[in-house]
Amino acid sequence: MKIRNLAAIAVIGTTALGACDEKQPPPPVKRELEVWKSDKPPEPELTIEEQRAKLEADREKQPEPTLDPNDPREKHELVWKEGKSTLKSIYGERDNVLTQMKDVPFDPKLEEQKTKLKALVAKIESYAVGEKAEDLDTAAARFCTVVDELRTGADALGAEGEAKLKEIDTALAELEAKQKEGGKVATRQYEKLEDERKLWSSPVLGARYVYMAMRTLYEEAYVLADFGARRSQIALRDCLGKPDAKPVPYEHAEAARLKVIKRAKYYLP
């Protein structure tokens, strides 16, 4: 009896296992995904300098914008709305430079040079972009006239002083050479030349202050280029970017000039 029961259990177990085997799904088929491959070699990663160059090249292709005369920018409404704090800061810095210009000491012998510097001070004080639409509309043209006149005046004033200082340096070198050779040189000769150096340093210093003030003018022009009408940008671009334009002999002013030219090229940043 026990043997029959065991045989029955074995038969039932075998049947159950067979049934389980029939219900199991077939194993999944492994599929390899196809990856698209380009025939072109991968482009190398650009350096920061190369990215900037590419961006600049793309900007050069930027088409001339279609302008709406009723656009706030074309009506000069954004210059003070967006640039007020910057302009106020610029005017404060310019006032400081003008104060130093007025304090440059001139010997009575150089009254002519002192008068020239005073005229340049007055010219700087006469300029501002203005707040009225009619003033802003002429701001670029007025700016170009003022910086041209300042550059001419400062260059002449500084060149005169530099020429005299060069003569003084030559005379001092001759005295030193004479003294080394055993010749007698009076102390007063040195003192006289040093007095001359101090005298002619004033025009050179005055010219340098003019260039410093010009930097603030360029910074003011940048605000006009950044937020002003397209016609203002074009005027600034054309007057500052002339092929024969000479670099300003003061690196910060020159950097500011180049910055205006670059911003004035494009309507959009």
CA angle centred on 228, ends 71 and 244, rounded to 5°:
135
Residue 72 or 6, more confident: 72
C-alpha to C-alpha distance for 207 and 200, rounded to whole angstroms: 12
Residue type at position 27: P
Write down the residue that tokens 């300003």 correspond to.
248
* pLDDT > 90: percent of the chain: 70
Q: Looking at the predicted structure, is the pLDDT value of residue 87 above 60?
A: yes
Cβ contact 214:59 at 8 Å: no
Q: Say which residues have a Cβ less than 8 Å from residue 260's Cβ, sequence separation at least 6.
A: 218, 221, 222, 225, 236, 240
Mean pLDDT of 194-213: 97
Q: Say which residues have a Cβ less than 8 Å from residue 127's Cβ, sequence separation at least 6.
A: 142, 143, 146, 217
| pLDDT at residue number 3 | 45
Cβ contact 232:140 at 8 Å: yes
Q: Looking at the predicted structure, is the pLDDT value of residue 165 above 70?
A: yes
Cβ contact 212:93 at 8 Å: no
Q: Say which residues have a Cβ less than 8 Å from residue 171's Cβ, sequence separation at least 6.
A: 193
Cβ contact 210:120 at 8 Å: yes
C-alpha to C-alpha distance for 142 and 135, rounded to whole angstroms: 9
What are the sequence ranges of the domains in the chain?
A: 70-265
| pLDDT at residue number 30 | 58
| pLDDT at residue number 53 | 82
Residue 51 or 205, more confident: 205
Taking only the tens place, the pLDDT of each residue in 23-50 is 566 666 555 545 455 566 666 788 988 8
C-alpha to C-alpha distance for 171 and 183, rounded to whole angstroms: 15
pTM, two decimal places: 0.78
DSSP string, 42-66: PPPPPPHHHHHHHHHHHHHTPPPPP
| pLDDT at residue number 7 | 45
